[in-house]
Structure 1
Amino acid sequence: MDTTRNQALTAWMAEHGYSSNTLADAVNRAVGDLTGRTGGLDGSSVRDWKAGRVRWPKSATRTALEKVTGLPATALGFVPRCRATSAPASAQEAPVNRRSFLTATAASAVAPLPTAAAPHRIGMSDVTRLQRKFAAVVAGDHQYGGFGSIEARALELAAEALDLQDRGSASQRVRSQLYAVAAAFTSSAMWAAIDGRRFDAARRRHERAAGLAAMSGDQMIQFRIWSHAGSLHRHVGRASDALAANDVARALPLTRRDPLFASLGHARHAAVHGLTGDRYAAERAIGSAQDAADRADPHARRPLWMAAVRDRAELAELALSTYLSLGDFEKAEAQAHRSLALLRPYMQRDRALVTARLAQAQLGQGDLESALHTAMSVPLNAVGHPRVARLLAAFGTGLRGCAPHSSALRTWSHYQQAHLSKRQADTKT
């Protein structure tokens, strides 16, 4: 039997917050509504669906599952069985088959029940294995940014972490760690959706991630999730909601224990104040971010996603965004150069974003030649990223506005057209 994993069902469960056990319970109740008798599924039944060991559930189960999910079974990754035409049984075969069935039934009635297997013990080694996978997701984000494949992979791994909760016994510490890992994966899916400008999906990921983080009790992941929520609201222009979400993150006791988290909270607050045009509040927040970073212990253990904050590259990038919003292009350029000098080589997505913003800062100062050179230096493999593409489009609009008849604009237009042709050719091949 083909046991290809059912990715569609796995992704639906992760998005809607179902573990194998909770989905089994929901389907059992739906079976009861349909037939008058509660279904007999358990977590292992759903794991068989996810693993592809069961490709087409029985009729009543399938109907109940469709009722629970609101989707047809085929949309959930199930594949109908091919019905082979069978030859009619002879008149003599039927009684023989009935006698065989009755004999087998009688034998099974007196056969001893199999001994239940001892429950599997879930331990920290399982958590560590998932944390290594989380490191790979973070690395993919740093390199490529918010593509749908990263979001889908993060959701799949969140479901894997939750499934472990159902597969055996574990200490309370291990269970809390599993919830924290599931929250971390879901927060990465949330950030990928924000980064890819899929804002409706990001809102759904936030709701789920916040619930998992609360069950874990892990303040670091709670900080990440609410800080991402602030970024989400900032990207859609809802400054009041962005400040409120940032305040949730900044109020966590973690920010008093580790000033580096406080520093990131201040820097993200500054970017929101820049959006509202409040220069005094923005510059005060930037100063507070720098002071907090100075107080932070450089040797303290922190999660992987704090790497750019620890190096201060992300703090400079947020200050760059703040000063661009305020129209202070000279300070924005200084922060751009600072961020580029601090970014680690593998952080290609952020390097492309900072470079595109640097071009805007140079354009804002009237330095057309430098701005054009900078914009054209954004790597071609990064310009398809939604945020990078948006920044470069804004650069082109700004260039047309300030120098509509310049050679710089003609060069940029030719460059953009050549790049578009290349991308179309690459897509065809």
Structure 2
Amino acid sequence: MTAVLAGCGLTGDSGDVTLRLVAADYGDSAANSSAKYWAELVEAYEKDHPGVTVEVTVHSWNDVDREVKKLVDAGKAPDMAQIGAYSDYAAKDLLYKAGDVLSIPAQADFVPQLADAGEVRGVQYGMPFASSTRVLFYNKTLFAKAGLTPPTTWSELAENAAALKADGVKYPYALPLGPEEAQAETMQWLLSGGGGYAETATGYSIDSTENVHTFTWLKNELVGKDLTGPVAPGKLNRADAFTAFAAGQVGMLNGHPSLMKAAAAKGVKFGMVPMPGVDGPTKVSMGVADWMTAFSKNGHAEQIKDFLTFVYSEKNVLAFSREYDLLPVTNSASQTMTAASQDADLKPFLDQLPVSELYPVGRTSWAAVSADVKKRIGQAVRPGGSPAGVLGQLQTTATTAESGSAG
């Protein structure tokens, strides 16, 4: 899908500039394609900026990172790319610093956790463009039938799962550790156990005592007691778990805002609570962000700055977030959403954002680590599996990748 958006009455003067942006598609149909969002935004921008043309090419999430890499490798980097990662390009010194292509107020308006996640060695290159957090979804109908209340601790979650299983629920707790997005479910559980992927600024801590304890508990108390459904966690993908939840077959699972629409469309009554922790609701949720990057090759810093400052205005951030059920990346838009009745369904996710932690995306080693988590982590909870052994293997991968990327 491609949208090339023409400028308004350009005269061909030497001051005329064409900015090229490659963006990802957040829509699920032609009616709400991101091409439509960008077309409207660019039209509004160009109306007040004669002499600047913005050409936007929109690709699906399956293709966008690869397409941008192709352009960069061919020496044809776009001026801007709205993609899933930025650290590789920053490490190769291909990007403008955020401060070079945003006004001071626009850069200062980013939600702090998201801005920090956009940094490489203390300098921000990745500009957050969209964000979401994860909460525990539960099926209200199944819970009412079993006489349950939403869990706040791991032990309550396990007790609820056992009661749901006794009631014949197919997936009492859906644990998607399959290759599609295992790194997300893994991180949510690690955080709820007081650990994480990288608890220090200089290295990974995947095989920490807390993390081994978390996966040992999962293996023994959920998977080992047959409370995670008929598909082995290592073979269950997030998309399939979401589909099963929308079909009324799942008691509980971790989900992000898009699951609300899918479940409601199928008539599933659901509730949402913070992820349970060892002794109470987890203090740190998982956050996810997608990134805007600005490539320096074409030298259009001034024009990029003007355009991105417009993109990140409160009005435009709100319009994008509301269109796609995502969380705003700026403080101003977050405050507006928190107070607006029309955004009440996103409040549980907004509440988690200030206490969220993101993947260590500022490290060029993260791509290799994430890929290995997707490949191996399901083995940690299977019968006969060794949580300590698998997490130790992942730690070795992480240490090797980190030393290689630092070299």
| Structure index of larger Rg | 1
TM (norm. structure 1) is 0.23
Larger RCO: 1 or 2 (CA < 8 Å, sep 6+): 2
Q: Which has the higher strand share?
A: 2
TM (norm. structure 2) is 0.24
